[in-house]
C-alpha cells in the first residue's frame, strides 16, 4: 500500500532511525538461573507490559548468575522503550526499572531527532500483518523485517506535540477504566446492602447519582 508523506515529513526504515537489542530467556533447565541468590534482576515478559504503560515490576526475576552468564551483566536501563515482536506484535511499554527481557521483546534506542514517545506510539499502530512470518507457535517478525518497518517522521517538534496529545488520551482512558472499576465496586456493595436491609434508600443522596453518571461517561 502506498503512503502519502505529508510535506515536511520523512519516511525511513526502522533500522535507520533507531538501534535495538533483542533479549533472551536463560535456560529453564538450569534451576540456578531462576533461584533467588540475593542478586536477582527483574526479567520482563510480554505479560508484564501494559500497552503504553510503565514496567515497574516483573513476575519473574533471574539470578545474578544468569544475569552474568546469559546477559553479560548488561542491564537494560530504566527509561528504555520496549516492543514485543513475537506473538503479541507491536505492544510497547517503557521500562521504569533497570531490567533484562526475553527474546520476544526488543529494547529500542532512537537516534537523535527521533522522539522516543512518538516512536512508541507509531510502532504500536503499524499493521504488522503485512510483515510477520507465521511460526509454529505464532506470529513473529524476523530481523530483516524489523529493519524494514517503515516509519513516518514529522519534524521533531511535531513528534513531541503528537506524543503529548496521545499521552493525554492514554491517561484519560486509564482514568476511565479506574472509574468504571470503582463504580462496579460501588454497585456490588450497594446491591448487597440494599437487598439485605443493611442500607435504606432513604439514606442515599439520589440527586448525586446523575452527576456521578455524567462524570463516568465523560471519563470513559
Taking CA atoms, 55 is separated from 79, 101, 117, in Å, by: 10, 11, 15
CA distance 193 to 196: 5
Structure pTM?
Answer: 0.77
CA distance 118 to 52: 11
- The series of mean pLDDT values per 10 residues for the chain, 220 residues long, is 78 97 97 97 97 96 98 98 94 98 98 97 88 58 92 95 91 72 72 69 62 54
DSSP track, 166-199 = HHHHHHHHHHHHHHHHHHHHHHHHHHHHHTTTSS
Q: What is the location of CATH 3.90.220.20 in the chain?
A: 10-154
Is 106 within 8 Å of 85 (Cβ atoms)? yes
Q: Looking at the domain 10-154, which fold is it?
A: Adenine-n6-DNA-methyltransferase TaqI; Chain A, domain 2 (3.90.220)
- Pairing of the two strands 41-44 and 100-101: parallel
CA distance 122 to 163: 9
pLDDT one-digit tens code per residue, 149-175: 999 999 999 999 999 999 988 888 777
Specify the DSSP class assigned to residue 206.
T
Amino acid at each position: 500500500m502506498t503512503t502519502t508523506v505529508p510535506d515536511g515529513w520523512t519516511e525511513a526504515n526502522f533500522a535507520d532511525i533507531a538501534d535495538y537489542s533483542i533479549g533472551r530467556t536463560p535456560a529453564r533447565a538450569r534451576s540456578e538461573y531462576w533461584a533467588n541468590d540475593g542478586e536477582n534482576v527483574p526479567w520482563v515478559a510480554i505479560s508484564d507490559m501494559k500497552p503504553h504503560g510503565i514496567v515497574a515490576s516483573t513476575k519473574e526475576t533471574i539470578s545474578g548468575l544468569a544475569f552474568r552468564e546469559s546477559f553479560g551483566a548488561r542491564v537494560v536501563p530504566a527509561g528504555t522503550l520496549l516492543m514485543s515482536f513475537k506473538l503479541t506484535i507491536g505492544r510497547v511499554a517503557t521500562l521504569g526499572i533497570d531490567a533484562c527481557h526475553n527474546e520476544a521483546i526488543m529494547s529500542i534506542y532512537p537516534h537523535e531527532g527521533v522522539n522516543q514517545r512518538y516512536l512508541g506510539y507509531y510502532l504500536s499502530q503499524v499493521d504488522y500483518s503485512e510483515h510477520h512470518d507465521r511460526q509454529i507457535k505464532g506470529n513473529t517478525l524476523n530481523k530483516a523485517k524489523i529493519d524494514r518497518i517503515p516509519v513516518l517522521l514529522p519534524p521533531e517538534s511535531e513528534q513531541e506535540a503528537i506524543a503529548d496529545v496521545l499521552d493525554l488520551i492514554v491517561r484519560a482512558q486509564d482514568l476511565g477504566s479506574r472509574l468504571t472499576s470503582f463504580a462496579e465496586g460501588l454497585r456490588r456493595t450497594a446491591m448487597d446492602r440494599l437487598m439485605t436491609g443493611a442500607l435504606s434508600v432513604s439514606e442515599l443522596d439520589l440527586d448525586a447519582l446523575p452527576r456521578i453518571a455524567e462524570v463516568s461517561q465523560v471519563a470513559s
